[in-house]
Amino acid sequence: MKKLAAAMAVALLLAGCKPQTAKEIRIGLITPLTGDVKTFGESVKNAFEMAVDEANKSGGVAGMRIIPIVEDDRNDPTEASNAASKLIKQDRVQAIVGSVTSKATIPVSDLAQSGKIPAITPSATNPKVTVADGKRKNYMFRACFIDPFQGKVMAKFAREALFKDKAAVLYDASNDYSKGIAEYFSDAFKLMGGKVVAYESYGKDDVDFSALLTKVKASGADVIFLPDYYNKVGLIAKQAREKGIGAALIGPDGWDSPDLVKIAGDAVEGGYFSNHYSPDDTRPEVVAWVKKYREKFGQTPDALGTLAYDATNLLLEAIRKANSGDPEKIREALASIKGFKGVTGESAMDDNGNAVKSAVILQITGGKQKFLKVVNP
């Protein structure tokens, strides 16, 4: 026993004296790997790990090897809080990528702020992710545009490209993303001379939208805005068509999943939604990315994966600039990033940690997403 203790003491002493050559940096990822939006979580994980592997293969970041730690939040705010606490307190990560949806990222942003750990969400677009009650949460950043812009893009499109006058809006009252963008869209649609003839909410576990759709039908809406994630949108679209509602269906980025068409079938055919990128874009960055992702994962990268790749590389760029694994220095470097060239386009951080960048509008044609146009901020 004594011998063992002595040997251990020597080992500890040696370890303590060892010069720190192999430096490491721990980066956490929070993403919905299970639950109602798991296609989002899977692409984000794929892309995050791809960016980390690429960096590690080329010698790491600022001389440090990246240790990734991945947590599932199931798209649930409480799970997201638990994941952030674990990463910050237990795993002692120096930075976080995530989470993915606004409802999971809002609690993560509060913990990043109190724990003083910089975090960047690839894709959460609600304003409350980086600002609460008018106050900037300065440890929180995002690699995407925000919903006031996205709502306006789709309102303008409905008015000026589709020539729609009467909009119905159905949203999930318990989801900040859904509720927020419902408002941004409606405000913009009205400002542009349109009328919002139905504005109805549902709950997060609702699966029967019959009563709401009866109201929509009676309202005579010529366009229906569905600001939610693909699973809910799929159900609502299907039930709308079953009720004989022929109005055009439009929506925001939450529609982006191969599962939308699987759930909705023909019901979403011809529908339009705003998104962060299109795999059909011919910019060389996009072509190279789509090729690389397809080779590795056998599918076309969606906006989530693409934003996650950009967000991770943006964070790595900040770590390089800071030349340090110190969370405070990484935060400062993130705040000062300008002209970052990602796959989804060039962006700069505004004063609220939001990326300023363009949106695209896609149409579902023949069950596939077709690129229609780019809309600049």
| Contacting residues toward ligand PHE, per CB under 6 A | 40, 101-102, 123-126, 177, 253-254, 256, 276, 303-304
Strand partners of residue 368 = 365
Considering the complex, what minimum distance in angstroms separates the CB of residue 104 from ligand PHE?
8
Closer residue to ligand PHE in complex, CB, 60/305: 305
Characterise 272 by phi-psi region: left (phi > 0), alpha (psi -120 to 50), beta (else): beta
Cis geometry, peptide bond prior to residue 210 (ω within 30 degrees of 0): no
| Separation of alpha carbons 208 and 210, rounded Å | 6
Three-state secondary structure call for residue 355: strand
b vs e for 95-104, b when ≥16 Cβ sit within 10 Å of the residue's Cβ? bbbbbbbbbb
Strand partners of residue 370 = 363
Considering the complex, what minimum distance in angstroms separates the CB of residue 8 from ligand PHE?
50
Closer residue to ligand PHE in complex, CB, 194/227: 227
Closer residue to ligand PHE in complex, CB, 55/311: 311
Considering the complex, what minimum distance in angstroms separates the CB of residue 17 from ligand PHE?
49
Closer residue to ligand PHE in complex, CB, 43/219: 43
- Count CA within 13 A, CB hemisphere, residue 78: 0
Considering the complex, what minimum distance in angstroms separates the CB of residue 334 from ligand PHE?
19
Considering the complex, what minimum distance in angstroms separates the CB of residue 371 from ligand PHE?
15
| Separation of alpha carbons 2 and 190, rounded Å | 81
Closer residue to ligand PHE in complex, CB, 71/256: 256
Closer residue to ligand PHE in complex, CB, 75/219: 75
Closer residue to ligand PHE in complex, CB, 55/361: 361
Residue ranges in the chain assigned as alpha helix (H)? 2-17, 38-57, 77-85, 102-115, 147-156, 176-191, 210-219, 230-242, 258-264, 284-297, 303-322, 327-335
Count how many residues are written for the chain. 377
- Give backbone dihedrals phi and psi of 21, rounded to 5 degrees, phi first: -90, -55
Closer residue to ligand PHE in complex, CB, 198/355: 355
Closer residue to ligand PHE in complex, CB, 109/125: 125
Considering the complex, what minimum distance in angstroms separates the CB of residue 263 from ligand PHE?
15
Closest CA to 51 of 332, 351, 363, 311: 311
Three-state secondary structure call for residue 345: strand
Q: How many CB atoms lie within 10 A of CB 3?
A: 7
CB-based contacts of 83, cutoff 8 Å, min separation 6: 28, 30, 71, 72, 73, 99, 108
Three-state secondary structure call for residue 180: helix
Considering the complex, what minimum distance in angstroms separates the CB of residue 106 from ligand PHE?
9
Considering the complex, what minimum distance in angstroms separates the CB of residue 232 from ligand PHE?
12
Amino acid at 20: Q
Considering the complex, what minimum distance in angstroms separates the CB of residue 45 from ligand PHE?
15
